[in-house]
Amino acid sequence: MKTVLVTGGAGYIGSHACKALKAAGYHPVTFDNLVTGWQQAVKFGPFEQGDLLDRARLDAVFAAHQPVAVMHFAALSQVGESMQDPGRYWRNNVTGSLTLIEAAVAAGCPHFVFSSTCATYGEQDNVVLDEESAQLPINAYGASKRAIEEILRDFEAAFGLRHVIFRYFNVAGADPQGEVGEFHRPETHLIPVLLDAIDGKRDGLTIHGTDYETPDGTCIRDYVHVCDLVDAHVLGLKWLEEGKASRVFNLGTGQGFSVREVMDHSRTVTNREVPFTEGPRREGDCTKLVSGSTRAATELGWQPHRSTLSDMIADAWRWHQNGHYDR
């Protein structure tokens, strides 16, 4: 059984990836510092606690498990925080990833699957965003991810480290079986915040900006179900194992929904009202981010099956009512 080192495997996307990897016949080993992850989410393989900035710890984990690939999710990811404290994002995301990449090369681990983001494209309204679109990030989070992509290209040129980069749009939903789900403290993602508001766990949802140039004045995003997303990562790993060239793939559905549209769907799914207030824009937020790419479908054979807004909200609501982690 082939071992895959999953950084951030105790987090939202990483834990779902570990489940998908195990189902596909791999042996996922989670590497996580538990700053934003949860040890209770590690259910599908061994757990190694450590920090990406600790090269000696990484070397020990590579030596102990001898992974054939790295699946790298570990990162700080709050856009607003990245604008206020950019140094933390450059240090954690970029320096941490560089340390990980150097450790992988030193250990002879040949394949690297990287969790990037559509935030690398920045503010490009009325532009079809595909993998060849200009990368013009407007916040430190997106800039840090773009830098890691460049590091991977340099390390392939120097050392032959082949990689697949996934730039994804807004990830939502939860494992339909309820084994893992989305649980952040603090929570910043729209759908779980909205569900908290519906459930009375917070005073209400704040709509950050109602004066965007969109039909209803609120931001538009392309949402993809977390289970569909991690299925693409398994396909990306197999792509590398088949000897194919390094590649970048967008992961989105090509359909955008505004904040108000997400609220409307949530009312329908939960049969409850959404308490909300209207607030100013957040620094670093783009007006519209929607994928215009079909590369993942045509080349990887990726087809999202649960990425309807109703399914994503229903799965998230089920997890919201029944699942949580504790420190």
What CATH number does the domain containing 95 carry? 3.40.50.720
Q: 60, 61, 71, 64: which is closest to 19 by C-alpha?
A: 71
Do 168 and 283 fall within a single domain? no
What single DSSP character describes residue 281? Answer: P
Question: Catalytic site residue 212?
Answer: no
How confident is the model at residue 180, as a pLDDT? 95
Q: Which residues pair with 162 in a beta bridge?
A: 111
Active-site residue (options: 141, 168, 212, 223): 141
Tell me which residue range forms the domain holding 87: 3-172+223-251
Q: How does pLDDT run across 92-145, given as a tens digit for each residue?
A: 999 999 999 999 999 999 999 999 998 999 887 667 789 999 999 989 999 999
As for how many domains the chain has, the answer is 2
| 51 within domain boundaries | yes
pLDDT at 326: 67
Which tens digit of pLDDT belongs to each residue from 282-294?
Answer: 877 888 888 989 9
**Is residue 185 situated within a structural domain?**
no
Final residue belonging to a domain, choices 207, 231, 251: 251
- How far is it, in rounded angstroms, from Cα 191 to Cα 315? 11
Query: Positive or negative, the Cα torsion across 231, 232, 233, 239?
Result: positive
Same-domain pairing of 140 and 229: yes
Residue 279: its pLDDT value, please?
A: 95
Last residue of a domain, one of 235, 251, 267: 251
The structure's pTM equals 0.94
- Cβ atoms of 162 and 247 closer than 8 Å: no
Asked if residue 153 and residue 99 are part of one domain, the reply reads yes
Question: Is there a domain that residue 177 lies in?
Answer: no
| CATH number for the domain that contains residue 258 | 3.90.25.10
In a domain? residue 269: yes
Six token digits for residue 305: 């099956």
Residues of the chain with pLDDT under 70: 125-126, 323, 326-327
201 domain residue, yes or no: yes
3-state secondary structure of 30: strand
* Shared-domain flag, residues 205 and 87: no
Q: Is residue 215 part of a domain?
A: yes
Which residues are registered as beta bridge partners of 113? 71, 164
Strand partners, 231: none
